[in-house]
Structure 1
Amino acid sequence: MDTGLVENHFSLARYWAQGDALSHAVAYILLAMSLVSWYFILSKALMSVRVRRSSRAVDAFWAAPSIGDGLAALAASDPEQIYVGLARQGEAQMAVGTKHTLAGEMGYAEQVTRVLRGAIHRSTMKLESGLTLLASIGATAPFVGLLGTVWGIYHALGAVSSGGAVQIDKVAGPVGEALVMTGIGLMVAIPAVLAFNGFNRINRLTLSELDAFAYDLHAYLTTGDRAHLKG
C-alpha cells in the first residue's frame, strides 16, 4: 500500500485548498480570537501578580507616621494604582472643601463615603477590564469551530455525492479534516475559560481587601479631630 496516498487523504493543507471563503473566514476568526485571548491572558496575569503583591503595602500605609508618608509608601508598592486611589481620594477630601457644591450639602461622613465609593468603582473597572471579552471568546469559540466543521462536512459530502459511488476512504479524509475545526475552537476556548475563572477569583480577593481598606479609611477620616474640623 502506498502510504503517501493515505497521508494525503488527511491533510489540513488540502482542507484549506479546497475550502471556500466561509471556511477561511472561520479559520481567521479563530486565529484572531486566540491572539486576542492570549494577549489579555498574559497582560491580566502580569497585572494580577502586581496587584497581589501591592496588597501588602496596605499594612505599610497604616504603619506610616502620617497620611502623606503612607501615600508615598503605598504609591511605591502599587504600580497598578488599585489601592493608592482610595488613599489619595481620602487625603483630597481632608484638604478640599465642598461647601458650595451639591456634594457639600451632605454631611462630612457622607462625602467621604461618596468619594471612596467612586475610587472603588474605578479600581473595579480596571480589575475587570478584558474579562467580558475572555468570557465571550470562551463561550463562542467552540461554536465558531463547529460552524467550520459543519460547513466543511457539507462541502465534503456534496463533493463525494457528485462523484458517483460513495467510498468510505473518500469521505473519511475530508470529514476528518473538517472535524479539526471543532478541535481548534476548543483549543481557543479552554484557555480563555480557565483564565476567566482564575482572574475572577483573584479579583474577588482583591475587591474584598479593597473594601476593607475603604472601610478603615472611612473610619480614619470621619472620627476624632478630622471629623470635628470638617463638621
Structure 2
Amino acid sequence: MSDIATNVIVDGTLNTLIGASVVTWALILVKGVQHLRISYHHRNFSKRFWSAADIQAASQLPDQHGPAARVAGIGFSTLIETDSGASTHDLEHTWDRQELLDRRLRQQMQKERGSLESGLAVLATIGSISPFVGLFGTVWGIMGALTNISKSGSASLEVVAGPIGEALIATAVGIAVAVPAVIGYNFFIRRNKVIWAFLDDFAIDFVHLALKHGFVIERAGSKSANAAARLTEISAAKKPASKPLHDELIAKEAHA
C-alpha cells in the first residue's frame, strides 16, 4: 500500500466529511428560518382568523401566508366551488360537500408536510453514515501507518504514535459532523409534529365551521355585485314612464 494512495483516501474522506458538515449547517440554517417564519405566520393567521366576525369575513382576510393560511385557502375555494352550482360529473365530485372539503384539506396538509420534511432525509443520512465514513478513513490510515512501520523495522512510540494519531482524526471529524446532524434532525422532527398537530386541529375546526354555516360561502365581491344589481332594479322601478307610453295614457283618458 503506497503512501500516495493512503494520503489520497484519507484526505478524500476528510474532504467528504467537511462537505457533509457544510451541508448539515446549511440545512439547519434554512430549516430554522423556515420554522421561525411558520411560527410567526401561524400566530398572525390564528389571531386574525378567529377574530373575524364570521367565516365569510375570515375568507376575505388579506395578505395571509403560512401552512395554515394555505389550508384555509383551499377550504374556502372548495366551499365556493361546491356552492357555484356548476354541474360536474367526475369522480372527485361524487362525494358530498363535507367529504370533498375534508379530502381537499387533507391533500393540502400532505403538501405542507412534504415541504416541512424536505431536507430531513439528508440530515438523517449524514448523521447515520458520518461516523462510519470517519472510521473508514481511520482504518485506512492505520493500515498505511502499520505498513510503513513494518517497512522501517522499528516499532518505537515515536514511529507509531504520529501516523496512527493522524489517522484517528478522521474518526473525530466523522463524529463531529454526525452530532449536529442528528440533533438537528430530531429537533425538526419534533417541530414538524407540533405543526402537523396544529394543522390537523385547524382542519377539524374549519370543517365544523363550514358545517355550522351550511357549507355556503360567497365569492369576494359578490355581495357588492348583488347590492349594485338590487339598486339598479330599484332605480328602474322608480323611473317615470317613457314619453310614448305617457302620450298613450293621455289618449286613452281623453277617449274615455
Tell me which residue corresponds to 1:52: 39
Please give the residue correspondences for 1:203-222 in structure 2 after superposition, counting only pairs within 5 Å. 203-222=192-211
State the percentage of identical aligned residues. 33
Tell me which residue corresponds to 1:6: none
**1:27-71 deviations in whole A, cap 9, x for unaligned?**
121111111111100000111111122221223212123556535
Tell me which residue corresponds to 1:24: 11
Tell me which residue corresponds to 2:71: 86
Query: 1:228–1:138: structure 2 CA closer, same or farther, 3 Å change rule?
Result: closer
Quick one: distance in 1 between partners of 2:34 and 2:23? 16
Secondary structure of the residue that 1:226 maps to in structure 2? coil
Return 5+ residue gaps in structure 2 as ranges: 219-256
8 A Cα contact 1:61 1:74, kept in partner:
no
Query: 1:23–1:221: structure 2 CA closer, same or farther, 3 Å change rule?
Result: same
Establish whether residue 95 from structure 1 lines up as the match of residue 80 from structure 2.
Answer: yes
Tell me which residue corresponds to 1:65: 53
Query: 1:72–1:155: structure 2 CA closer, same or farther, 3 Å change rule?
Result: farther
Q: What's the C-alpha RMSD, in Å, of the aligned pairs?
A: 2.3
8 A Cα contact 1:108 1:227, kept in partner:
no
Quick one: distance in 2 between partners of 1:40 and 1:228? 41
Please give the residue correspondences for 1:125-204 in structure 2 after superposition, counting only pairs within 5 Å. 125-204=114-193
User: For this pair of structures, how many residues does the alignment match?
Assistant: 211
**1:55-110 deviations in whole A, cap 9, x for unaligned?**
2122321212355653565744x3xx311111111111111147322111111111
Tell me which residue corresponds to 1:35: 22
8 A Cα contact 1:89 1:115, kept in partner:
yes
Quick one: distance in 1 between partners of 2:60 and 2:22? 38
Secondary structure of the residue that 1:169 maps to in structure 2? helix
Q: How does the TM-score come out when normalised to structure 2?
A: 0.76
